[in-house]
Chain A
Amino acid sequence: MVRVLVLTHGRFGHELLAVAEKILGPVSGIDVMSNEERSALQLAEDVRRWLDSGAASDASNRSAGVPAAMILIDDQGGSCATAALCAEADRPTAIVIGGLNLAMLLGLILWRESLEPQELADRLVEKGRQAIIRIEPPV
Chain B
Amino acid sequence: MSILLARIDDRFIHGQVTVGWSQKLRPDCIVLANDDIAADAWRSRVYAQSVSPEIEVAVLALAAAAERLQSEPDPGRERTLLLTGSPADMRELADRGVPLPEINVGGMHYSAGKQELLPYVYVDHGDVEAFKALIADGCSLRAQQVPGGKETILARGLLVAMEERL
Which A residues lie at the B interface, using CB under 8 A? 9, 37-43, 75-79, 81-82, 85-86, 89
Contacts and interface: CB of A to CB of B under 8 A. Distances in A.
A86 to B, nearest CB: 5
B110 A40 contact: no
Nearest to A74: B15
Contacts of B108: 39
B51 interface: yes
B141 interface: no
A42 B111 contact: yes
B14 interface: yes
A37 B111 CA distance: 9
Interface in B113-135: none
A79 B15 contact: yes
Interface residues of B, number: 19
B50 interface: yes
A125 B133 CA distance: 49
A39 B50 contact: no
Interface stretch (B40-48, B66-74, B146-154): B40-48
Interface in B1-54: 10-15, 18, 42-43, 46-47, 50-51
A78 B15 contact: yes
B101 to A, nearest CB: 26
Interface of B: 10-15, 18, 42-43, 46-47, 50-51, 85, 107-111
B109 A82 contact: no
A81 B43 contact: no
Nearest to A76: B50
Contacts of B85: 39-40
A75 B15 contact: yes
B149 to A, nearest CB: 15
Contact of A37 (B46, B50, B109): B109
Which of A37, A40, A82 has the most B CB atoms < 10 Å from its CB?
A40
Contact of B13 (A38, A75, A77): A77
Contacts of B42: 85-86, 89
A82 B15 contact: no
Nearest to A38: B109
Contacts of B109: 37-39, 42
